[in-house]
Amino acid sequence: MLVSHPIKHCRACGAAVTYLVPVDDNRLRAVCNQCTTIHYENPLNVVGTLPVWQDQVLLCRRNIEPRYGLWTLPAGFMELGESTAQGALRETEEEAGAHVELLGLYTLLNVVKVGQVHFFYRARMLDTHLAPGPETIEARLFSEAEIPWDELAFRTVRETLKLYFADRQRGQFGVHCADIA
């Protein structure tokens, strides 16, 4: 279980908070010592795509930490005011400059240790034009045999790619849910 106490001050009034279990609750929460506002901490959503062009998948080489220089699927944190699908499309455009059509949710991966949920959509690339943004060193297409498995940035990316190639071999794609330890 993720145990951290990153909230130090109340977002409403700025006073110090104390972590305690409020009445009618069952978890530690940041509670303002002054105005008694309860601050809830919830997992962050990471949204992205698994873009495919013919028999190749699109990967981006990270130009930011964590995992600078390693390869990933185009993905990032979901923003307020967007759906998971909208966020996945935005991240694909921002990181790879790729134009895609979503084919449906593909993986939902719980990364409990870091308080994240990763959503990857299968996507069909509409063309091969790529224009990587500032968070990406380079974006390129890889066949299954070319995937730099030892240079992948995140386990969720590795699992999504492994599932994709297995499903492609079977000729049937489903939605996969799993916990990443």
What pLDDT digit, counting tens, does each position of 70-122 carry?
A: 999 999 999 999 999 999 999 999 999 999 999 999 999 999 999 999 999 99
Cα atoms in the 13 Å half-sphere on the side-chain side of 91: 31
**Pairwise CA distance, residues 141 & 112, whole Å:** 30
Give the start-to-end residue ranges of the domains of the chain: 1-41, 44-179
> Is the CB of residue 74 less than 8 Å from the CB of residue 49?
yes
What pLDDT digit, counting tens, does each position of 128-170 carry?
A: 999 999 999 999 999 999 999 999 999 999 999 999 999 999 9
**Pairwise CA distance, residues 176 & 181, whole Å:** 16
The predicted pLDDT at position 6 comes to: 85
Tokens of 146: 């070319």
DSSP 114: G
pTM: 0.90
Q: In this model, does residue 181 exceed pLDDT 90? A: no
pLDDT, mean of residues 61-76: 98
CATH number, span 44-179: 3.90.79.10
> Is the CB of residue 14 less than 8 Å from the CB of residue 5?
no
What share of the chain in percent tops pLDDT 90?
95
Judge whether 1-41 and 44-179 match in fold: no
| Average pLDDT for the chain | 96
Using CA atoms, how far residue 168 sits from 54, 173, 180, in Å, is 12, 7, 22
Under CATH, what is the fold of the domain 1-41? Ubiquitin Ligase Nedd4; Chain: W; (2.20.70)
Tokens of 5: 């106490």
The predicted pLDDT at position 3 comes to: 53
